[in-house]
Amino acid sequence: MDWGLKNRLSKIISPKDNRGVMLAVDHGYFLGPTDGLQTPRTTIRPLLPYADSLMLTRGVLRTSVNPDVNIPIVLRVSGGTSIVGEDLSNESLVTSVEEAIRLNASCLALSIFVGSKHEHKTLVNLSKLVDLGEKYGIPILTVTAVGKEMNRDSRYLGLACRIAAEIGAHIVKTYYCQNFEEVVEGCPVPVIIAGGKKLPRELEALQLAYNALRDGAAGVDMGRNIWQSDWPIAMIKAVQAIVHKNADAKEAYGIFLEEEENDKSSHKERQKVVRTTVNHSVPFD
């Protein structure tokens, strides 16, 4: 592995503990203005200090993230489908490597759809992107997307992760499942997990993250379970404690509750200030 590629990879998965917290905010590329991410800038800004890297598209990067931030960018470069279209698996490469270099990306992300109608196309997309990544020293994160008809079990996810690694992916993202350790064992590159749909309670999402790390994941690429929570900062801090401080789910939930309280009281303070200001400026009150 070349120096540049190693250097970029070390910004995503820390060599200190071989782990990483990636904040995923790329959902709009096929979902549009989804819940919690309607105004990307507002969602992203307060969470940046607690993430090791940020996964998003070039459009949201340019419009919604200040260029002076110091966070490694994982640029989603596959797309071309939508939630209302015919087939989500029909993705192409939609952002060039030159553009990624202009944007100072530390990693490039694309989805593969193993077992889908467009399996071949997405795997060829991956192989082309790996060639470019190797040429320019940029690691490739492969997102193992799951078709509606696929089971999220260790057999299928293990298959998709292994194929991604065989084609040359440097990191693979998948979902947590039973016997997850078999998925990790069969994949010779770091595996990180997506959070998936928002779970009803924060503790459940923290348990999922903890189980994945315990079973060999190198970190998380989490979105909805962070920014669809009523307390996203508390949530990302709790996730960070699991990934980097070896907290278990209960300890992390304790951190979540503490941070939630802090957020609530600072929210009340903010409201007080606003009310005072309003009172001063409304003479007839």
Active site residues: 173
CA 187 to chain centre: 19
Dihedral sign of CA atoms 75, 78, 82, 88 in order: negative
Q: Is residue 223 near ligand R5P by the rule CB under 6 A?
A: yes
Least distance from ligand R5P to the Cβ atom of residue 111, Å:
7
> In the chain, where do the E strands start and end?
20-24, 53-56, 73-76, 78-79, 92-93, 107-112, 140-144, 171-174, 191-194, 219-222
Size of site (CB under 6 A) for ligand R5P: 13
Q: Is residue 27 near ligand R5P by the rule CB under 6 A?
A: yes
Q: Residue 144 or 154: which CB sits closer to ligand R5P?
A: 144
Nearest C-alpha neighbor of 232 from the set 275, 195, 188, 183 = 195
Least distance from ligand R5P to the Cβ atom of residue 278, Å:
37
Helix H or strand E encompassing 97: helix 97-102
Q: Is residue 202 near ligand R5P by the rule CB under 6 A?
A: no
Q: Is residue 58 near ligand R5P by the rule CB under 6 A?
A: no
Among 11, 19, 58, 224, binds ligand R5P (CB under 6 A): 224
Q: Using an 8 Å Cβ cutoff, are 172 and 189 in contact? A: yes
End-to-end CA distance of the chain: 69
Helix H or strand E encompassing 132: helix 119-136
Q: Is residue 11 near ligand R5P by the rule CB under 6 A?
A: no
Q: Which stretch binds ligand R5P (CB under 6 A): 21-29, 59-67, 147-155, 206-214?
A: 21-29
What residues between 161 and 200 interact with ligand R5P by CB under 6 A? 194-196
Could you tell me which residues are beta bridge partners of residue 194?
A: 221
The CA radius of gyration of the chain, in Å to the nearest whole number, is 20
Among 52, 202, 215, 221, binds ligand R5P (CB under 6 A): 221
Among 55, 65, 100, 208, binds ligand R5P (CB under 6 A): 55
Residues at the contact surface with ligand R5P, assessed by CB under 6 A: 24, 26-27, 55, 143, 194-196, 221-225
